[in-house]
Structures are given as structure tokens and as C-alpha cells.
Amino acid sequence: MASVLILAAGLLAAHELGHVLTTVGFGGRFRGLVVRGLAVGVALDVSGLSTRRRLGTAWAGIGAEMVVAGLVSGLALGGVLNMHLLAWALIILAADAALNLGPWWSESDGALIRRWRTDLVETAEA
């Protein structure tokens, strides 16, 4: 069970680090870690970024998590890690994607992606 908790923490860290590194790489700012109950996130300043770059920062979290889940899966298939971690990596990734990409609160990744995509489409149509 400890290995599953470590895996979950690693996926969470990769997710948030994906947001941070992409934002900073695009010229935005990392403002700090945000903890609200069981929810952990990062505060980012993307105000100076283009809409396309904002979308990149939002998608970077789940993208980084997919890379780590793929690495865990590859190591499990290669016999380096226990196979049950492959299943757990995919389950955790799916659950986290559903939580992050859903419209559950106004600042979730999914809500931001929909808002910024709408802005991008409206700008392109104007």
C-alpha cells in the first residue's frame, strides 16, 4: 500500500510541476503552493501570457502526469516494478484527469481550458 501512496504523491507532484515549469518557461510566474483541504495546487500568474500559452500551462499538468504514468507502466512491463503499480498508475491517472479536467470548480484545469479555448475561438473569429 505504501508504494501506491508514493505513486499517487509522485503523480500529483508531476502534475503540479508540469504546470509550474511550463508557466515559468513561457514567462509567467510561480506564486506558491495552495492547499485547500485535500486539494493541493499551485498559484500561478499567467496574466502576461497569450491565450495559447495559458492553454499550454493548463494542459501541462495532465501531460506531465501521463509521462510519469507511462514511465511507471514501462518499468512494470519491463519487470523493474511490480505489475500492480501499472494498474494503479492508470487508475490514479484516470481519476485525477476526471477531477482536474471536469467543470467541478471555476479554477480547475478543465474550467480554465474551456474558458481560454473560448477566448481563443472568439479572438480568431473577430
CA Rg, the chain, in Å? 16
The distance from CA 13 to its chain's CA centroid, rounded to whole angstroms, is: 9
pLDDT of residue 117: 93
Q: Determine phi and psi for 105, rounding to 5 degrees.
A: -150, 160
pLDDT of 126 strictly over 90: no
> Domain coordinates of the chain in residue numbers?
2-120
Residue 13 has pLDDT above 90, yes or no: yes
The residues pairing with 42 across neighbouring beta strands, listed in sequence order, are 33
Q: Any idea which of 11-25, 60-74, 78-92, 112-126 has the lowest mean pLDDT?
A: 112-126
Average pLDDT, the chain: 92
Say what the pLDDT of residue 123 is: 83
